[in-house]
Amino acid sequence: MLFLGQAILRKGIAETLQAAQQLVDEPVEFYIVGAPEISLSPCLLTMPNVKWIGSVPRSEVAQYYQDADVFLFPTWSDGFGLTQLEAQSWKLPIIASAHCGEVVQDNLNGLVLNEISGDAIAAALKQLLIAPEKLSRFSANSISMDRFNATRLLQSLSKQS
């Protein structure tokens, strides 16, 4: 499971770590790529199923997408979240909150969290552990990047005027 970006409360890092605590005995590893910008207790920094990678150069980010089985984006308030598009360009299934741009279609290319909580994230990951074939299906249903190109954006903005 990949969490990539600012490890801050607004991005759902607290709930992600709560889920990691609940899943410590499950075959799930949480890779946190991005510097933690909140104070964390030593027990959160040393959980055996959480790998704190920290900040990485942009040239190394693609490798984390390629190595992951699922991308987690439990944001509380993101207008869009370009990391979702990056994940989809690598055909990476996404678990995302409903508080961001509509990249994830629930049970098509990922799972949408109707609530942001450790329980909800853990439940979504358990769902994928029970039915891992969903990951292949979600990957196969990754969205086309054409939907988000500059021309389409301009057309969409023109229609709203």
- Going from N- to C-terminal start, the domains of the chain cover 2-160
Q: 130-150: per-residue pLDDT in tens?
A: 999 999 999 999 987 666 555
Instruction: Tell me the pLDDT band of 155, cut-offs 50, 70 and 90.
Output: low
Instruction: Tell me the pLDDT band of 112, cut-offs 50, 70 and 90.
Output: very high
Instruction: Tell me the pLDDT band of 101, cut-offs 50, 70 and 90.
Output: confident
Distance CA 71, CA 39 (A): 24
Tokens of 152: 């389409």
Q: Is the model's pLDDT at 154 over the cut of 60?
A: no
Res 77: pLDDT: 81
Q: Over pLDDT 70: what percentage of the chain?
A: 89
CATH tag, 2-160: 3.40.50.2000
* Cβ within 8 Å of residue 99, ≥6 positions away: 75, 76, 77, 78, 116
Distance CA 11, CA 75 (A): 4
- Share the mean pLDDT of the chain: 89
Res 143: pLDDT: 84
